[in-house]
Structure 1
Amino acid sequence: MAEFSQNRGKRRDGEALGSAVDFLLANARLVLGVGGAAVLGIATLAVKRLIDRATSSQDEADAKGDATCLEESWKELSLLKATPCLQRRPPPAALSQSVPLRAPSPSAPEVPADADPQKAPQLSSPAPSLCLTFQEKLLAFERDYVTVPVAHVTLAKQLAGDIALELQAYLRNKFPELPFGALVPGGPLYDGLQAGATDPVRLLVPLALEPGLWSLVPGVDTVAQDPRCWAVRRTQLEFRPRGSSPWDRFLVGGYLSSRVLLELLRKALTASVNWPAIGSLLGCLIRPRVASEELLLEVQHERLELTVAVLLAVAGAPAGERLLLAWPLEGLAGNLWLQDLYSAEAARLRALDEGDAGTRRRLLLLLCGVCHRHPVLGRLGRSHLTQVVLRLGEEAADWAEEALGERFLQALESLIGSLERASLPCHFNHRVDLLGGLRDEDIDDLGCALFRGLQAPEQLLPPVLGEPLSLA
């Protein structure tokens, strides 16, 4: 993380160059339009990285690596030179709109009225045009790949609810001294935001903490200095000494450790729970994903595949309206609790759409579906894409279905701009940079893939439709 922050600092060193470039980019869209601004933005990214790599001081041992980086940058510039600028598309047509047939060629010979139809030259009738607009292809992709059948949603919810009840009974029998709350399934599947196989069902395992014995400390005020997180501190030790709470056994330095609790539940899910028996009872096969740092359950049913994420959570007192998750964080933040913003993001999107009958949530589903299928764009998670849609959702005026294709391209352009700045602030906490965990190489790869996608967005969609859906 420190090395990545240092590299990002280097990109901001050239103040003179940066001022000129920023002024140019600020006016690029007004002059060049969406496509031209995207080309200029990605070209600027390549030039900046070329200059940074050429001027940064390196040891002799890194000389070979620098040469490779310079060669890659030149390749990017060569690609940009050979790439024509994007042309503005006409407003996309609705999918239900019929495609007109081609008019007869004006050079076709006329047949006299009194001519014998038997001897008249037989002209082949013009074939109907099968060229679809990008809007039509996008809606077809939504229909065939993104939208989950209602029957699958119902079955997935039933399986998730049954697994929640079985796991809740196990935890109460295995750890009767620990007051776990009722397990609650939720997530995109329950909010109409499930895009095919992009997200697991969230199964919250809440911890019932005693009121008055715990308080929250912002992550920025801890040694980790992480704005994403909170620390749960044990209080009232002079009146309720250590050992008065069943959760005191999970304290590390006076704070409730998410890492220790996460490891306890991991061992239980992978070694103690009789998943074959539970799966047999529910008519499916359930297996914990041992290699994952997250607590994931793979569910295989004859009709669908499902992934369930088991999430330890602190909700209610002392968290208030916040939802804090035990997450596999690294370094000094390993014992902190990650603030989860999914519910706030979903509620904000729903409120914006209801305000103007918009399609912001459909755009998010399309972006998730496209990125999940792409070998490079798969590094962009739901959190990244949600921030882009929220930003566009509050800026753009037209959110009718007919503008969905244009909003999709605008989202790609916005992502390219964020990558060029190496910054994507969280909508609800601007101190959190969602690109902070990406390496420079990742940013380069994502920027190149998005630029190519903005050039030819149809290539982001599958060529053949009708592939079966899965919730894995």
Structure 2
Amino acid sequence: GCSAPLGTPQVKSSPLRCLTLQEKLLSHSSQLAVPEIQASLVPQLARSICTQLQNFLRSKFPELPFGRLFLSGALLDGLEVLAADHIHLMLPVVLDAGLWSLISGEDTVVRDPQYWMIKRIDLGYFPRGCSPWDRFIVGRYLSSSVLNETLHKLLVASINWPAIGGLLGCAIHPVVASRELKLEVKHDQVELSITLFPVVEMEDKVLLAVPPEGLVENLWLESFYRVEVSRVKELDAGDSGARQLCLRILNGVCRSQPSLHKLGGSPVTHVILHLSDTASDWAEENLADRFQQVLEELVASLEKGVLPSYFNPKINLFSGLLEEEIDEMGFVLYRAISEPEVLLK
């Protein structure tokens, strides 16, 4: 029975009441927004640079059928958090389907399902020179490295960046030492790095010219970015879910904790997609439960050293991580399972 006299409240309402994890997550999510000036200025600057680059490529290589450059990245998908300081610029390489075919990386010397090779076919009927891209062939394969080297030289030596920067009111510097095709942009109000990716879309695959370190120079990396983001959005639209909210909070955590940087973006997204197959209720009121579950799944995956891609289970999204990175991430997240709040500091 209850011994308190009637009419007196059971619990003194104290302003120091402990916030639940749910409340902390929602309050934390409201602090993740990208500053307004960055959110508007960064895409605007990147689009202007995009246009200048497109014009330059058309005049420099009129014979190469590059498609229209387009921007890509979390900022444009409403998933960017804290700061908008990087964006991807995709350069479509438009191939004649009749002259090229894909070979899975599993069937090549690298034995890696993340990569593909693009083979030039029918050389008997269509000898070298029939495709404008034949100049980038190495041993019958379209070389991502040779294409990148050509574009790197172009970015570093051929384009008048001071003039373009003057036109756009910013300073633009190509990063000479990087293997990546990178521009650093400094404006009065924002700083930004832009990475350029040649991209081939073929046989329902999106392949980026990102060859692995030092190995074979003909490899193209399969990208799932577009399909993973659209899948998360589709699922949320279907059940008014909070997957994107959960993803943004986790991206914020990975961004603000140096040891977790490499888990942000794709790995976290794929964990959420895997969980969506089993955990049915993603309504916002269950955010804390789902967040906790994602942490548990991440720890379990890190313990195994394996996180299968949602779209191709043969691909391990942790394959590029060092053992000590995996240990460090596992340690940080394992401690957070009993007290997830520590990640929100």
The two structures have a TM-score, normalised by structure 2, of 0.90
1:396 correspondence with 2:279: yes
Amino acid at match of 2:12: A
**SS of structure 1 residue aligned to 2:172:** strand
Higher RCO (C-alpha 8 Å, min separation 6): 1
1:259 correspondence with 2:168: no
Q: Which has the higher strand share?
A: 2
Q: Is the Cα contact below 8 Å between 1:184 and 1:204 reproduced in 2?
A: yes
Taking a change above 3 Å as real, the CA distance of residues 410 and 269 of structure 1, as seen in their structure-2 partners, is same
1:129 correspondence with 2:16: yes
Aligned partners of 1:177 and 1:372: how far apart in 2?
42
Aligned partners of 1:294 and 1:129: how far apart in 2?
51
1:237 correspondence with 2:123: yes
Residue 95 of structure 2 is matched in structure 1 by 209
1:246-395 aligned within 5 A:
246-315=132-201, 319-395=202-278
Aligned partners of 1:434 and 1:211: how far apart in 2?
29
User: Percent of aligned positions with the same letter in both sequences?
Assistant: 50
Taking a change above 3 Å as real, the CA distance of residues 290 and 364 of structure 1, as seen in their structure-2 partners, is farther
1:417-436 aligned within 5 A:
417-436=300-319
Amino acid at match of 2:334: F
Alignment length, in residue pairs? 336
Amino acid at match of 2:15: P
Q: Is the Cα contact below 8 Å between 2:42 and 2:84 reproduced in 1?
A: no
1:416 correspondence with 2:299: yes
**Deviation string for 1:328-384 (max 9, x for gaps)?**
413544311111111110111011101100010111111111011112112324221
**SS of structure 2 residue aligned to 1:128:** coil
Taking a change above 3 Å as real, the CA distance of residues 271 and 455 of structure 1, as seen in their structure-2 partners, is farther
Amino acid at match of 1:231: M
Deviation (angstroms), 1:199: 7.4
Q: Is the Cα contact below 8 Å between 2:211 and 2:221 reproduced in 1?
A: no
**SS of structure 2 residue aligned to 1:193:** coil
Amino acid at match of 2:21: F
Aligned partners of 1:164 and 1:197: how far apart in 2?
21
1:124-203 aligned within 5 A:
128-129=15-16, 131-144=18-31, 146-149=32-35, 152-197=38-83, 200-203=86-89
Aligned partners of 1:401 and 1:173: how far apart in 2?
51
Aligned partners of 1:217 and 1:281: how far apart in 2?
44
Aligned partners of 1:187 and 1:275: how far apart in 2?
23
Q: Is the Cα contact below 8 Å between 2:144 and 2:217 reproduced in 1?
A: yes
Aligned partners of 2:238 and 2:191: how far apart in 1?
35
**SS of structure 2 residue aligned to 1:306:** strand
Deviation (angstroms), 1:151: 5.2
Point out the structure with max Rg over C-alpha: 1
Deviation (angstroms), 1:434: 1.2
Taking a change above 3 Å as real, the CA distance of residues 407 and 398 of structure 1, as seen in their structure-2 partners, is same
Aligned partners of 1:269 and 1:302: how far apart in 2?
23
Deviation (angstroms), 1:201: 1.9
Deviation (angstroms), 1:180: 1.4
Amino acid at match of 1:140: S
Amino acid at match of 2:285: E
**SS of structure 2 residue aligned to 1:379:** helix
Q: CA RMSD in A?
A: 2.1
**Deviation string for 1:4-41 (max 9, x for gaps)?**
xxxxxxxxxxxxxxxxxxxxxxxxxxxxxxxxxxxxxx
Taking a change above 3 Å as real, the CA distance of residues 304 and 404 of structure 1, as seen in their structure-2 partners, is farther
**SS of structure 2 residue aligned to 1:386:** helix
Residue 12 of structure 2 is matched in structure 1 by 103
Residue 327 of structure 2 is matched in structure 1 by 444
Deviation (angstroms), 1:299: 2.4
Q: Which moved more, 1:336-345 or 1:179-188?
A: 179-188
Aligned partners of 1:294 and 1:133: how far apart in 2?
44
Amino acid at match of 1:388: V
Aligned partners of 2:132 and 2:337: how far apart in 1?
55
The two structures have a TM-score, normalised by structure 1, of 0.67
**SS of structure 2 residue aligned to 1:310:** strand
Q: Is the Cα contact below 8 Å between 2:35 and 2:82 reproduced in 1?
A: no
Aligned partners of 1:286 and 1:157: how far apart in 2?
15
Deviation (angstroms), 1:169: 0.8
Aligned partners of 1:447 and 1:311: how far apart in 2?
31
Deviation (angstroms), 1:448: 0.7
Q: Is the Cα contact below 8 Å between 1:198 and 1:372 reproduced in 2?
A: no
Taking a change above 3 Å as real, the CA distance of residues 294 and 197 of structure 1, as seen in their structure-2 partners, is farther
Deviation (angstroms), 1:208: 1.9
Residue 6 of structure 2 is matched in structure 1 by none
